[in-house]
Amino acid sequence: MSNTPRILMIATSAATMAPSDEPTGVWLEELTTPYYAFRDAGAEVTLASIAGGAIPVDARSVKPRGENDATVERYYDDAELMEAASNTPRFDTLDVSGYDAVFLPGGHGTMFDYPKSDELARLVADTLDAGKIMAAVCHGPAGLVNAKRKDGTAILAGRKVAGFTDSEERAVGLDTSVPFLLETRLRELGSDYVCGPDFEPFAVRDGALVTGQNPASAGKTADLVLEALSHRKAA
């Protein structure tokens, strides 16, 4: 690993909760909080998405200017990042071999396109097989559910993992809008699912796998990624 860690962030491209036309997208804080944590720590960050082009932002995740999380406010003053988010490359067009970590921000959009991407499932498996850092927050672990080890078993089997809880999903009233409940699916895959209180910050690191529970966990998840990168560099 070079002195400057390289991190690939892959956002959802799903703008609606198909088959309905209910708008969705990335939960903006889950993109901006890790992005700035990584940049402020000196990392090089590349923003990509599942389908390329503009990353849809869930309107529920944005308040009037001055009322948002500090990193969201910073985003709206950052013409460079806003331009990057409006014109992302498709992640599978990039040479991913040079990245030290992959990060999947959440938002309900991820439930609709992450699990359908065979290329993402392969990238998740390859990242972990290579001993690199694989991270996801909130609904981002939807991108991990179809990744498999070389022997065909789920990559999450036996690993500690966090993600949006079923009770959080019911609390926001979208438990019948998503294709599956994330906590339930993570448990079904044989993971050691762990969580904190609903809507409180909680993240966990299991070796090179880092996951966070909900939007409030984005900062903790990013911190664990940076910790994992520093350990990898020291090794």
Domain CATH number, residue 24: 3.40.50.880
- For residue 120, tell me if it sits in a domain: yes
- For residue 165, tell me if it sits in a domain: yes
10-29 pLDDT, tens digit per residue, is: 999 999 999 999 999 999 99
Question: Could you tell me if 99 and 6 are in contact, meaning their C-beta atoms sit under 8 angstroms apart?
Answer: yes
- For residue 1, tell me if it sits in a domain: no
SS3 content of the chain, % helix, strand, coil (to 5): 40, 20, 45
pTM of the shown model:
0.97
- For residue 67, tell me if it sits in a domain: yes
- For residue 41, tell me if it sits in a domain: yes
The kind and range of the H/E element at 134 are strand 133-137
Structural domain total, the chain: 1
79-131 pLDDT, tens digit per residue, is: 999 999 999 999 999 999 999 999 999 999 999 999 999 999 999 999 999 99
Q: Which domain holds residue 69?
A: 6-234
Contacts of 12 (CB under 8 A, 6+ apart): 24, 25, 26, 49, 50, 55, 56, 105, 107, 109, 110, 112, 113, 114
